[in-house]
Amino acid sequence: MEALLFYLCTSIILVAAIFTISSANIERSSTAFASMMLALAGIYLLLNEELLASIQILLYAAILPASFLATPASTSNGKAHPKTSSSKLLLIPILTLLLLAAIKTQPKQVAVSYRSEMVYEDAVAEIQIMLLVLLAAILGTLRLKDHHDSS
Amino acid sequence: MIAPEIYDILAKIDVRHYLVLSILLFCIGLCGVLLRRSLLSVLMSVLIMINSVNINFLAFAQKEHSSTKGHMFAFFVIVVAAAETLVGLILLASYRREGKKVLKW
């Protein structure tokens, strides 16, 4: 079963990655990117890394594709993009991820919390530095945007 | 008919499988960086390459259960790549809007 899920996730990742770099339409490209990241979170689940899988879904499958979509829309100078419906691309990775989450995480809740505690206790300073880096990037981004909006 | 050795390799997932996946993903990302001309596609390709490296970190971290170094590296890479992408996106947006002016501090 694990091997089957691994090959399913791998095939989704490779197809979505090829689609991401080959598609000229940015909406389809972003959706394929989100699909790839969801399937990659599935691989993390197979490696028993539930914490990183959740971070992966939050950052790479939600925030970044939305940012990719927002960027050309705000800077296209009125150029119309063709209307596309690419949300169906997300269906297969989401179903795979749900299946994986149901199979992998249920009997290991104690182990997951133990692993998270271990990671946090081992590297409190590093985690705080990383969060500061992320905060600095977000604040810098907002500052840069304000600066260019006002000028 | 599949030979028993090949069936064993295919059925039992170990580090080699994750390495092959990582190499393929890295090559796809590299192709994207080298071949695409759109900056947004190049940014996505770089992220694909970064995530392929993360698979390596986590696959090798599975071997040592007592150490969390691999997880910390992966966590660090995820956060820094996300921050870098946010800054890259806003620079790209500013560059498209204002041209070369955005390169001045």
Tens digit of each residue's pLDDT (9 = 90 or more) over A15-57? 999 999 998 888 888 888 988 998 998 898 888 887 888 888 8
Asked if the structure places residue A80 within a domain, the reply is no
CA distance A130 to chain B (A): 6
Total H helices, total E strands in chain A = 7, 0
Judge if A21 and A92 occupy the same domain.
yes
pLDDT of A110: 52
Domain B4-103, CATH 1.10.287.3510 — does that match? yes
Average pLDDT of the residues in B81-105: 71
Q: Could you list the residue range(s) of the whole structural domain that residue A123 is in?
A: 109-151
- Which residue, among B26, B41, B30, has the nearest Cα to B88 in the 3D structure? B41
* A residues 81-110 closer than 8 Å to B (CB): none
Most confident of A71-80, A142-151, B52-61: B52-61
Q: Name the residue in chain B with its Cα closest to that of A30.
A: B44
pLDDT confidence bin for B48, thresholds 50/70/90: very high
- In this predicted complex, what is the ipTM? 0.84
Nearest residue on chain B to A123, alpha-carbon basis: B72
Residue A78 lies in a domain: no
CA dihedral (B82, B53, A38, A31) in degrees, to 10, reads: 70
A22 shares its domain with A96 = yes
